[in-house]
Structure 1
């Protein structure tokens, strides 16, 4: 019997802007493990399927700066973007949005990533949705 695909996120802003239109949104604040994008999302996916018992779609958006050798990556939410990059001339950055689909508990996830090159600029607009106010494509 088919089950509803749930888009799992702990970011209320993603739910309010309709980030995912192919799955039913579900707020679930999962702890983020340490590691690469793949490792973080694999663990998120495993935890989400264990909790909901069915198919899930999880995502993570990382931001890497050229000047910092692609850091902070998945740890962007724990870093003050402008403060960390102020002393560097190179403001080039790359946003990486990765989605992982998993059928259910014990199943292997399938990942898709999209990369967008851009740069860090002085904040413009509201700063209430991550680093959107400082990243320009």
Structure 2
């Protein structure tokens, strides 16, 4: 059984389209400040693993606007609650008009998986933590597992990324949440899509699909 650390029922429903044995766990892990999603999700996965004592999934996601070097990115939730979705959309579109560029953006999601064991070398990223990894060879990293000398802050975490590309538009649609009304993909905003349509192309769904392939062999 995988514990998906979230209070969002929609995330769990989406995960169950790819994974048979998954449950939601409400755990308030420390959300560190970082310029990328991976370290944030990895830190949360380590804390969650120490709390749950078994396989865990933690995700972090954000809207990355091309014209602003990816901002708001990892700070998307904070910016949504302070500046507001409509304001972010206005700023992105205004800058695009001034530069003559298309206001392109990406939704990105990183899933972090931890089960206390090491990972064989694969193309997928592995976060070995701040202490672990600097003194391990590549071969050792591939076969490392938890021991009495390694606490939950050191166990390796495997990362799976998903991206959906689109552009920033005037708000449209009544569905979804967050930045969905201002993010258009293939002619429709995410807020105009049904749940099934959105899940079929979502950044989280793409990360989950990659993870599910890995987990089937795990």
CA distance in 1, matches of 2:8, 2:170: 24
- Number of equivalent positions: 132
Q: Which structure 2 residue ranges, 5 or more long, are not aligned? A: 97-101, 117-151, 186-218
Higher-Rg structure is 2
Q: Which structure 1 residue ranges, 5 or more long, are not aligned? A: none
State the 4+ residue runs in structure 1 displaced beyond 6 angstroms. none
1:111 corresponds to which residue? Answer: 159
Higher strand proportion (structure 1 or 2): 1
- TM-score (norm. length: structure 1): 0.83
1:123 corresponds to which residue? Answer: 171
Change (3 A) 1:32 1:11: farther
Post-superposition shift, 1:61?
Answer: 1.3
Report Cα offsets for 1:15-74 as digits up to 9, x if no partner: 4xx121122222334342100211111111111111111110111112110111111111
Q: For the aligned residues, what is the CA RMSD?
A: 2.0
CA distance in 1, matches of 2:176, 2:28: 18
Change (3 A) 1:132 1:29: farther
Post-superposition shift, 1:84?
Answer: 2.8
- TM-score (norm. length: structure 2): 0.55
Report Cα offsets for 1:97-129 as digits up to 9, x if no partner: 111111034521100111211011222233662
